[in-house]
Amino acid sequence: MTSAYQHLTHTFRRLAHFGHLGAIAGWDMQTMMPAGGSQARGEALAELSVLRHEILTAKEVGVWLDQAQQEDLNDVEAANLLEMRRAWQQASLLPASLVEAKSIAGSRCEHAWRQQRPANDWQGFAANLKEVVRLSREEAEIRAQANGCSRYDALLDVFEPGMTSAQLDRTFGDLKQWLPQLLQQIVDKQAQESVTLPEGPFAIESQRQLGLSIMQRLGFDFNAGRLDVSAHPFCGGVPQDVRITTRYRENEFLSAMMGVIHETGHARYEQNLPAAWADQPVAHARSTAIHESQSLFFEMQLARSTEFLQLILPQAVAQFGAQPALSAENFVRLNQRVKPGFIRVDADEVSYPAHVILRYEIEQALISGEIEVDDIPAIWQEKMQSYLGIDTRDNYRDGCMQDIHWTDGAFGYFPTYTLGAMYAAQLFQAVKRALPQVESLIRNGELQPVFDWLQQNIWQHGSRFSTRQLITQATGEDLNPQYFRQHLENRYLPR
């Protein structure tokens, strides 16, 4: 006789298979699909979203969840059941019509954004974004009513289970107290240091080859993934077929290089999630902030270290030839340069949190109804000026239109970037305790012990533990933002 739990594992395996198809179709839409396919692809993905929603919210699933609760399950199965119930509860709140409408509106907004951003067309973008925001507010209200929380907290919980805006306000409030002064100190210090910019052009194919060689050094499994180009870098696909992307500019190569490293961090996490539980919720990444902690561990903690930069410098010289900018000292300075700028994804790790806090504050007000879409540019300008001293008036392309996240209603996502940076600093500190010689290992290209530590403490667990349990087991304590501050001070203002 088939148990309730077995019925559930079969159902979630079906959902995973449909999710696999959706992930690859979504990747194709952002990388390979001709513009004329946008509407048809959007409708197809919406239909797939509705199908998955119907399977997950079927009446018998709720019955099986209750029955399975009484069955004899081991620890991993119990954790899987917990994740199944969470997925079912999240989905059951929303009517299929809203799921479909959100998918269509998101596809339309994202596709149009690709042309509207280069054209600096805020008015055209805003028209589509208003519908996305309207539907996101509708979703947020439904979730908030069910969970007894604010609209924004209801959406935040989708990406970061257990996190609240009250906790974020405390964490970010503390960050805003000390970060501006630290940023200014670092900028003043670096103003005394000369740095030579690399001389291009840098051929796209040479940049691609550099990225591929670094991915190989970082342990990316090319038998289970690939590198492509998109308007906005991302990591997609599924653990057995991870698709990462970057974007190239011929006048400089560092942003694409670091973008590849960042996405490789996401990809290594995906490729090393528990294969024995593939197709089950317990094998998913724990949360968005934990996912970001892995990409930022790779990009910021590891790749921007002096040891790693010196390790990969010969690979850069092999692609672009020797030049003054690619001396050992200058290459490190280039990649540890702190300079507030317009673009979040190109930001240094010191000014980056200001980009995130700005977006967090705007989307919080947008979802609560305190502001409307038409208010965004003025508020964006005010906060960019206040936090980073940058003027974005009438520059929507490099201002409030630069990100892809709001196009499909991913409100509640942005805070996880800075949470991820904090987790990454805390994790790297734990690595240092476990591997006191880690700097020497990195300098010599012996990275496997670091990856083994991540595999043992983060990757292999998937969603078996809560975020708090996972971090506490790995580092000995819950999230402690002090490690992030110490990291920035040690790297940029060493005593």
Q: Which residues are catalytic?
A: 263
Residue 347 CB contacts under 8 Å (≥ 6 apart), including other chains:
340, 341, 355
Burial 355-367 (b: 16+ CB within 10 A, else e): bbbbbbbbbbbbb
DSSP string for residues in 122-181: HHHHHHHHHHHHHHHHHHHHHHHHHHTS-HHHHHHHHHSTT--HHHHHHHHHHHHHHHHH
- Report whether 337 contacts 195 (CB < 8 A): yes
How far apart CA 22 and CA 192 sit, in angstroms, is 51
How far apart CA 443 and CA 437 sit, in angstroms, is 10
HEC assignment per residue over 33-46: CCHHHHHHHHHHHH
Distances (CA, A) of 426 to 20, 121, 161, 176: 32, 41, 19, 19
What sections of 336-466 are H helices per DSSP?
Answer: 352-368, 376-388, 415-434, 438-443, 448-457
- Report whether 267 contacts 276 (CB < 8 A): no
Q: Which helix (H) or strand (E) holds 246?
A: strand 241-246
Structural tokens at position 209: 């080859």
Q: Hey, is 236 helix, strand or coil?
A: strand
Residue with tokens 């906060």: 383
Structural tokens at position 240: 């057995």
Q: How far is CA 418 from the centre of its chain?
A: 10
Query: How many Cβ atoms are within 10 Å of 49's Cβ, its own excluded?
Result: 20
Identity of the residue numbered 484: F
Peptide bond into 201 cis (omega under 30): yes
CA atoms within 13 A on the CB side of 254: 20
Residue 422 CB contacts under 8 Å (≥ 6 apart), including other chains:
171, 479, 480, 481, 483, 484
